[in-house]
Amino acid sequence: MSRRLALPLPFLLAGLLVGCSSWYGETEEPPLPGERESVLLIDAGLAPDPGIASLPIVLPAPEANPVWPEAMGNARHQLGHVALADDIAEAWRADVGAGDAGQRRILSQPVAGRDAVFAMDANGAVTAFGTGDGERLWRADPGGDADADRLRAGGLALGDGLLYVTTGSGEVVALDASSGAERWRQGLLAPIRTAPTVAEGRVLVTTSGNQTFALDAGSGAVLWQQAGLAEQTAILGGASPAEDNGLVVAALSSGEVFGLDLTTGGPVWTDTVVRPRRTLASGAINDITGDPVIAGDQVVVAGNGGEMVGMRAADGQRLWEIDLTSANTPWVAGGFAYVLTDRNELVAVILDGGRVRWVSPLQRLRDPKDSNSSRVFWTGPILAGDRLVLASSDGEAVSVSPYTGEVLGRIKLPGGVSVPPLVAGGTLYFLTDGGDLVAYR
Q: Is 6 inside a domain boundary?
A: no
Q: Is 4 inside a domain boundary?
A: no
Lowest mean pLDDT among 74-78, 86-90, 304-308, 328-332: 304-308
Q: Tell me, what's the pLDDT at 229?
A: 73
Under the banding of pLDDT at 50, 70 and 90, the label for residue 152 is: low
Q: Is 77 inside a domain boundary?
A: yes
Lowest mean pLDDT among 81-95, 242-256, 275-289: 275-289
Q: Residue 379 pLDDT more than 80?
A: yes
Q: Residue 67 pLDDT more than 70?
A: yes
Lowest mean pLDDT among 16-25, 125-134, 218-227, 232-241: 16-25
CATH code for position 103: 2.130.10.10
Q: Residue 118 pLDDT more than 70?
A: yes
Q: Tell me, what's the pLDDT at 22?
A: 52
Q: Which residue has the higher pLDDT, 112 or 33?
A: 112
Under the banding of pLDDT at 50, 70 and 90, the label for residue 189 is: confident
Which residues, including other chains, have CB under 8 Å from residue 172's CB and lie 6 or more apart?
A: 164, 165, 166, 185, 186, 188, 192, 196, 203, 205, 215, 220
Q: Tell me, what's the pLDDT at 42?
A: 38
Under the banding of pLDDT at 50, 70 and 90, the label for residue 373 is: confident
CA nearest neighbour of 376 among 389, 361, 392, 398: 392
Total tally of structural domains belonging to the chain: 1
Question: Using CB atoms within 10 A of its CB, is residue 26 exposed (0-12), middle (13-18) or buried (19+)?
Answer: middle
Under the banding of pLDDT at 50, 70 and 90, the label for residue 45 is: confident
Q: Which whole number is the average pLDDT over 416-420?
A: 97
Q: Is 335 inside a domain boundary?
A: yes
Q: Which residue has the higher pLDDT, 286 or 159?
A: 159
Q: Which whole number is the average pLDDT over 190-203?
A: 95
Q: Tell me, what's the pLDDT at 41?
A: 36
Q: Which whole number is the average pLDDT over 42-64?
A: 88
Under the banding of pLDDT at 50, 70 and 90, the label for residue 171 is: very high
Full domain range(s) for residue 300: 15-440
CA nearest neighbour of 401 among 415, 418, 416, 381: 381
Q: Residue 335 pLDDT more than 60?
A: yes
Q: Which whole number is the average pLDDT over 11-35?
A: 42
Q: Are 41 and 346 a contacting pair, CB within 8 Å? A: no
Under the banding of pLDDT at 50, 70 and 90, the label for residue 236 is: low
Specify the amino acid at residue 90.
E
Which residues, including other chains, have CB under 8 Å from residue 283's CB and lie 6 or more apart?
A: 276, 277, 305, 306
Q: Residue 32 pLDDT more than 80?
A: no
Under the banding of pLDDT at 50, 70 and 90, the label for residue 279 is: very low
- φ/ψ bin of 34: left (φ > 0), alpha (ψ from -120 to 50), beta (otherwise): left
Q: Residue 296 pLDDT more than 50?
A: yes
What angle (nearest 5°) sits at the alpha carbon of residue 364, between those of residues 358 and 368? 120
Q: Is 206 inside a domain boundary?
A: yes
Lowest mean pLDDT among 46-55, 104-113, 271-280: 271-280
Q: Which residue has the higher pLDDT, 386 or 191?
A: 386
Specify the pTM: 0.88
Q: Which whole number is the average pLDDT over 111-138?
A: 97
Q: Tell me, what's the pLDDT at 21?
A: 39
Q: Tell me, what's the pLDDT at 310?
A: 98
What is the residue-averaged pLDDT of the chain?
87
